[in-house]
Copies of this chain bind each other. A is one copy, B any other.
Amino acid sequence: ARTGDPEVVYGAGKTPEQVAAIMATLHERHPERAVLATRLSPEAMLAVESLGADVHPVARAATLGPLPTPRGAVGVLSAGTSDAPVAAEAALTVAVHGAGVTEIRDVGVAGLHRLLAVRDRLDDLDCLVVVAGMEGALPSVVGGLTGLPLIAVPTSVGYGASFGGLAALLGMLNSCAPGVTVVNIDNGYGAGVAAARIARSASPDRSGRRANEAGRG
């Protein structure tokens, strides 16, 4: 983590024992800050829970060690319940990377009134993460309602011509709302890292950032 970010364990393709061992080692090295583990199987969640980690089942993730004091505010918007794991991974990653986070769910494009109903809540945020599968239209609509930095996360939710999230990914890359940027399919983690950086740098107390990045290099 040369860039000042917390350590993260990518759980896919690792045994529960491996995940638990890496988390423990990283935690010992820096007990004062959180380690994040993502893409955990149910077995890996049990294994890290017995280490004392906080498990987040929807996000399929866990943290070990204290979360940083949040600076700045990120909103994570999503439509269907199928996108929930990716949205939760993004939200938890934001928190672990030191920004505040609000989850706004069930605001799909085919039910605009629900989205319009939460529009005012967007005004107090510094950055948005917008998660959507299938046609991936939500970032365009949200991007038309706000001038905030907006990171779009396509999900692999869908079937047939969704081609594992490709349809949503292409939709987001072609968004007619200017200023939308995009991460890989299902990459809530990457969106969370980017959003936390943006929100933290937008927050008034700037001495903090310099401090916590001092050791990099």
On A, residues with C-beta under 8 Å from B are 2-5, 8, 12-13, 79-80, 82, 108-113, 116, 126, 134-137, 140-141, 143-151, 154, 156, 158-187, 189-191, 193-194, 197-198, 201-202, 204, 206, 213, 216-217
| Copies of this chain per assembly | 8
Q: Could you tell me the distance in whole angstroms from the C-beta of A150 to the nearest C-beta in chain B?
A: 8
Given A147-B5, A202-B202, verify A194-B173 contact (CB < 8 Å). Answer: no
List of B residues within 8 angstroms of A190 by Cβ: 178-181
Given A13-B82, A112-B112, A186-B160: A193 touches B178 (CB 8 Å cut-off): yes
Given contacts A175-B134, A180-B190, A184-B173, contact A109 B160 (CB under 8 A): no
Q: List 21 A-B contacts (CB under 8 A).
A: A2-B144, A3-B144, A109-B177, A110-B141, A112-B145, A137-B140, A141-B141, A147-B216, A149-B149, A149-B198, A160-B169, A161-B165, A161-B170, A161-B174, A167-B171, A178-B189, A179-B190, A180-B194, A181-B182, A181-B191, A182-B182
